[in-house]
Structure 1
């Protein structure tokens, strides 16, 4: 249990530390979308907890929910990085997300299960993939609408 908690703490710190390497304009541009999708992820996790779709067994602190560690840690930072690299290039955005989600579901998820951090309970990896896919479509749509509204205000 201690090793998995240290793993989560290091993962959380590294993901947030990576944001120091993004320029300030890109961070300001994509931060609202990252906050939005983190809130959507939190709501999804609440619903999934009731339905027992998946379970988080470990967190960085007993008072912090396990799903919050992921929603506000690696997923948050990765969202900003992916948008920075791929926004405006929809086919590339879809391809990058498909690769990231596939890697997570088929390689990282079994590792997390062995470490006693997270596992799928009542859904399959394929169903979990579609949850991710829906989130990413929602994320890109949010960012597109935000950019459109921003352009409208300038003119």
Structure 2
């Protein structure tokens, strides 16, 4: 529970940033999903609300104070999302 309290603002910032990015990406057709789960959400919201938020907590918890490791682990995780 203390980790949730410690990282909740950072994860909220990342979530808002990715949420806004998904709407910009949809508008400029950077990528697309065939059928969004709900018509008022983008198709990638299932990924953002599903594994992305807990993954952000774990990455921040495991790499606290080690920026290089954070960037590497985040890069690997984002690459896995792309696959």
TM-score of the superposed pair, with normalisation by structure 1 = 0.48
Q: Which has the higher contact order (CA 8 A, sep 6+)?
A: 1
Q: Name the larger-Rg structure.
A: 1
Kindly provide the CA deviation profile for residues 51-101 of structure 1, in whole angstroms up to 9, marking residues without a partner as x: 100112244x43562222222221111111100100211111111112222
Give the direction of change, closer, same or farther, for the CA distance of 1:32–1:89 in structure 2 (3 Å limit).
same
- 1:97 counterpart residue number: 74
**In the alignment, which of 47, 62, 66 is matched to residue 38 of structure 2?**
62
- 1:82 counterpart residue number: 59
**Structure richer in helix, relative to its length:** 1
Q: CA RMSD in A?
A: 1.7
In the alignment, structure 1 segments of 5+ residues that lack a partner are 1-23, 109-155
Q: Does 1:44 align with 2:21?
A: yes
In the alignment, structure 2 segments of 5+ residues that lack a partner are none
Cα distance, 1:29 vs structure 2: 0.8
Distance across 2 between alignment mates of 1:68 and 1:27? 21
